[in-house]
Structure formats: structure tokens, C-alpha cells
Amino acid sequence: MKLTLTAIKRRLCSAQLQTSRNLDSLTSQLVALLSNKERLHELNSIPKEFSSNDIKSSIYPVLVRLIPYQARNFRTSGDASLSRKLLDALIDGLLPKFAKVCIEGLTIATLEMSNLIIRRLSHIIHVISRIAAGRNLAISTLSFLSCLAHSPALYKNFNEKVC
């Protein structure tokens, strides 16, 4: 599974696999795996020593690479449901083990899908503030906040009310 996801990451970077239907299907399957714990345990060809966290740590980097493709699909088709599910999966991944890659993904999403991020911005900042601060998250968090500071469209409607 990890080798397959790594190969998918490489192919996404090399402009293969870029048909809209393939990418939408891949995104929806990966998001479904993350949102349903039972589906993670139903995977057949995964060694027993792999935990669900090992699988998730392989899925999140692929989802981050899918953000620009989903943003393009959203701009061309106007359908935001899959993009919202992708953002929700990244927000749900804001746990200490996956936070770095999810924050980096949310940083990309602020640039690519700012109109979808704006609705969740206060919740995202609140969740990021609750994650234990550490050296490994500092650069990603500062990068995310810097991206917000350079996008007035994102923070002009920001209020202090926290979810």
C-alpha cells in the first residue's frame, strides 16, 4: 500500500494520471478511507504490522498533492463537494502525528481554494492552536499564517468568534 501511494505521488508530480475522472475517483476513495475506520481494517493486502496510523501517514501526502487538481476541477465544473471533503479530511488530520503534512496541505489550499477555506478559517486556526507546539510544526504553521497575511481576501471577514 505504501509503495502504491508513493508511486501515485510520483505520477501526480510527473503529470500522469491527470484525467478528471481518475483524480476524482482517487480523491474520493482516499477521503473515504480516512473518514471510515472500518474501511481501513477491511483492506486486504496490507501486512498485519501496519497500523491505521501508518496507512493514514501514507494517504495524507497523496491528498496534499491532489489539492491543485481538485481546485482546477472546482474552478471548471463549479462542483465543490469533493473539494470540501478533501479540506475536511485535512482538517480532521490536524492531529500531532499528521499535523505537519496537513498544515502544508491547508497552506496550498489557501492559495488554490481560498473561497472554500474562508468558511472554515476560524475553525482551522482554532484547531492548529490546540496542537502541541514543537519545532517540527513551527515552520509549517508560520508558513500557513504567512500565507494568510498575504491574502487579504481570506482574513478581511475573519472574526474572533471561535467554533
Nearest to 83 by CA among 102, 99, 103, 63: 63
Other C-beta atoms lying within 10 Å of the C-beta of residue 34: 23
Q: What is the pLDDT of residues 144-161, one digit of tens each?
A: 988 888 887 766 666 555
Q: What integer best gives the mean pLDDT of the chain?
A: 79
> Given a cut of 60, is residue 16 above it in pLDDT?
no
Other C-beta atoms lying within 10 Å of the C-beta of residue 107: 21
Task: State the residue for C-alpha cell 491543485.
Answer: 68
Are 62 and 8 in contact by the 8 Å Cβ rule? The answer is yes
The predicted pLDDT at position 87 comes to 93
Are 73 and 79 in contact by the 8 Å Cβ rule? The answer is yes
Amino acid at 150: H
Q: What's the mean pLDDT in 47-51?
A: 76
The predicted pLDDT at position 114 comes to 85
Task: State the residue for C-alpha cell 469533493.
Answer: 82
DSSP state of 120: G
Are 103 and 128 in contact by the 8 Å Cβ rule? The answer is yes
How confident is residue 38, by pLDDT bands cut at 50, 70 and 90? Answer: confident
Amino acid at 82: L
> Given a cut of 80, is residue 72 above it in pLDDT?
no
Q: What's the mean pLDDT in 71-89?
A: 81
Gap between the Cα atoms of 153 and 57, Å rounded:
32
The predicted pLDDT at position 64 comes to 92
The predicted pLDDT at position 37 comes to 74
Q: Measure the CA angle with vertex 51, ends 64 and 3; round to 5°.
A: 55
Q: What is the pLDDT of residues 86-135, one digit of tens each?
A: 999 999 999 988 999 999 999 999 988 888 888 888 899 889 988 866 77
Gap between the Cα atoms of 115 and 131, Å rounded:
25
CA distance readout (Å), 56 to 23, 30, 83, 90, 98 = 18, 9, 19, 11, 8
Q: Where are the domains of the chain?
A: 2-155
How confident is residue 44, by pLDDT bands cut at 50, 70 and 90? Answer: low
